[in-house]
């Protein structure tokens, strides 16, 4: 314990979900799990809702855990799904909340379309069975998948996506019609930083320059990828285009989808967070 003991690099995870969208842990349970995983700074990024932020902050109590209010919004270019993270959004903005409620309404309408499509495929399922699992929160394909598992139609949520709900499967229905520029604008108007989530899942890196032209500010380099060369590729891209670098587990809970990680498995190196933190402060200052 000398005078020159360097400050420990803080552990940062800027992508995770709660029961307010398709995660399995309530905000309070998530905070407990975050403490257990030894994380210091996290962003809660539910799909189209910030309902988990206040409960999570309450659960932090007087510990030093920092919770950054976040969001994950879906958008599309042609057939490509572009997920956009909004980091440090002002979740008290009424205008922002109204826009989010519009997106959640479109999500509810989409469930009816998915269910009708499944019915046509001979699967007996009712929209209410899906809504019951979402408990009035931001509803999505994972809730349909869980309903299909519960009914014994498929053995796992993974199978539900493969056979019915995935982008190339027969009951795939878009979340809603929103272009990335609109998602970026919504987030920037709420004082947040728009970030391209899990870029490797988009399937085409050539959209990235287009996204930057539309207002993108950051890219989620650190996310569960099979091969570290993927990280290197996006790090180089971030450097070339002067994008902020973010990262996180995309934690959804114990019922792990193939696309997310456990808490603590994927973190953002602290030096990248420090740059991002400055940008977040500036974005709020000009708001
Ligand atoms: P939605 O926002 O309703 O289109 O649902 C997308 C969500 O479904 C993602 O955020 C993941 O949580 C989950 N998901 C996507 N693909 C899969 C998959 N193959 N297996 C399990 N979960 C998935
Ligand atoms: Fe999700
Ligand atoms: Fe996503
Ligand atoms: Zn996510």
Any atom of ligand 1 within 6 Å of the Cβ of 158: yes
Lowest mean pLDDT among 230-234, 251-255, 261-265: 251-255
Report the separation in Å between the CA atom of 141 and the middle of ligand 1, taken as the mean of its atom positions: 6
Report the separation in Å between the CA atom of 250 and the middle of ligand 4, taken as the mean of its atom positions: 5
Residues 46-58 have a mean pLDDT of: 98
CA separation for the pair 143, 225 (Å, rounded):
24
Report the separation in Å between the CA atom of 3 and the middle of ligand 2, taken as the mean of its atom positions: 45
Q: Which tens digit of pLDDT belongs to each residue from 93-132?
A: 999 999 999 999 999 999 999 999 999 999 999 999 999 9
CA separation for the pair 202, 81 (Å, rounded):
6
What is the b/e burial string over 241-252, where b = at least 16 CB atoms within 10 angstroms of the residue's CB? eebbbbbbbbbb
Contact 142, 257 (CB under 8 A): yes
Q: Which residue has the higher pLDDT, 183 or 226?
A: 183
pLDDT at 2 over 50: no
101 Cα distance to chain centroid: 17
The per-residue pLDDT for 3 is 55
Q: Classify burial at 172, counting beta carbons within 10 Å of its beta carbon; exposed 0-12, middle 13-18, buried 19 or more.
A: middle
Which of 156, 161, 203, 220 is the pocket-test mutation for ligand 1 (most atoms within 8 Å of CB)?
A: 161
Q: How confident is the model at residue 283 (pLDDT cuts 50, 70, 90)?
A: very high
Residues 202-220 have a mean pLDDT of: 97
Residues 20-40 have a mean pLDDT of: 97
Q: Classify burial at 38, counting beta carbons within 10 Å of its beta carbon; exposed 0-12, middle 13-18, buried 19 or more.
A: exposed
CA-nearest residue, atom 8 of ligand 1: 142
pLDDT at 1 over 50: no
pTM, full prediction:
0.96
Query: Strand 218-222 relative to strand 244-247: parallel, antiparallel, unpaired?
Result: parallel
To 5 degrees, how large is the angle CA 247–CA 249–CA 255?
165
What is the b/e burial string over 124-143, where b = at least 16 CB atoms within 10 angstroms of the residue's CB? ebebebbbebbeebbbbbbb
Any atom of ligand 1 within 6 Å of the Cβ of 252: yes
CA-nearest residue, atom 9 of ligand 1: 142
Residues 12-38 have a mean pLDDT of: 97
Q: How confident is the model at residue 7 (pLDDT cuts 50, 70, 90)?
A: low
Which of 15, 141, 176 is the pocket-test mutation for ligand 1 (most atoms within 8 Å of CB)?
A: 141
Residues 246-271 have a mean pLDDT of: 87
Specify the ligand 1 atom closest to the Cα of 74.
2
Tell me the residue length of the chain.
287
The per-residue pLDDT for 228 is 82
| Look-up of token digits 């728009």 | 194
Residues 245-261 have a mean pLDDT of: 83
Q: How confident is the model at residue 226 (pLDDT cuts 50, 70, 90)?
A: confident
Any atom of ligand 1 within 6 Å of the Cβ of 81: no
Residues 272-282 have a mean pLDDT of: 97
Residues 6+ apart with CB under 8 A from 187: 71, 73, 84, 86, 89, 193, 194
Percent of the chain with pLDDT over 70: 95
Any atom of ligand 1 within 6 Å of the Cβ of 47: yes
- Name 83's bridge partners: 74
Which of 16, 138, 257, 261 is the pocket-test mutation for ligand 1 (most atoms within 8 Å of CB)?
A: 257
CA separation for the pair 137, 100 (Å, rounded):
12
Tokens of 121: 């495929």
Provide the H-helix boundaries in the chain. 27-36, 52-60, 94-120, 127-134, 141-150, 157-160, 180-189, 207-213, 228-241, 270-285
CA-nearest residue, atom 20 of ligand 1: 158
Radius of gyration of the chain (CA): 19
Any atom of ligand 1 within 6 Å of the Cβ of 40: no
Q: How confident is the model at residue 256 (pLDDT cuts 50, 70, 90)?
A: low
End-to-end CA distance of the chain: 43
Q: Which tens digit of pLDDT belongs to each residue from 159-209?
A: 999 999 999 999 999 999 999 999 999 999 999 999 999 999 999 999 999
pLDDT at 8 over 80: no
pLDDT at 12 over 90: yes
């Amino acid at each position: 314990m000398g005078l020159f003991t360097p400050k420990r690099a803080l552990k940062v995870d800027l992508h995770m979900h709660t029961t307010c969208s398709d995660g399995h842990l309530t905000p309070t349970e998530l905070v407990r799990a975050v403490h257990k995983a030894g994380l210091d700074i996290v962003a809660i990024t539910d799909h189209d809702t910030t309902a988990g932020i206040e409960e999570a902050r309450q659960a932090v109590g007087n510990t030093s855990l920092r919770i950054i209010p976040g969001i994950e919004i879906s958008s599309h270019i042609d057939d490509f799904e572009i997920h956009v993270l909004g980091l440090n959004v002002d979740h008290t903005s009424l205008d922002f909340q109204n826009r989010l409620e519009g997106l959640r309404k479109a999500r509810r309408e989409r469930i009816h379309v998915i269910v009708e499509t499944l019915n046509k495929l001979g699967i007996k399922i009712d929209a209410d069975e899906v809504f019951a699992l979402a408990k009035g929160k931001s509803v999505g394909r994972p809730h349909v998948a869980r309903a299909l598992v519960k009914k014994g139609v498929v053995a796992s949520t993974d199978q539900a996506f493969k056979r019915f709900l995935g982008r190339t499967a027969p009951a795939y229905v878009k979340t809603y019609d929103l272009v990335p520029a609109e998602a970026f604008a919504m987030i920037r108007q709420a004082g947040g930083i728009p970030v391209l989530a899990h870029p490797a899942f988009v399937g085409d890196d050539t959209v990235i320059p287009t996204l930057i032209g539309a207002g993108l500010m950051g890219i989620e380099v650190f996310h569960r990828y099979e091969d570290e060369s993927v990280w290197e590729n996006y790090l180089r891209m971030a450097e070339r285009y002067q994008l902020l670098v973010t990262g996180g587990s995309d934690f959804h809970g114990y019922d792990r989808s193939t696309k997310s990680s456990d808490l603590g498995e994927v973190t953002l190196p602290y030096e990248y967070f420090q740059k991002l933190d400055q940008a977040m402060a500036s974005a709020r200052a000009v708001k």
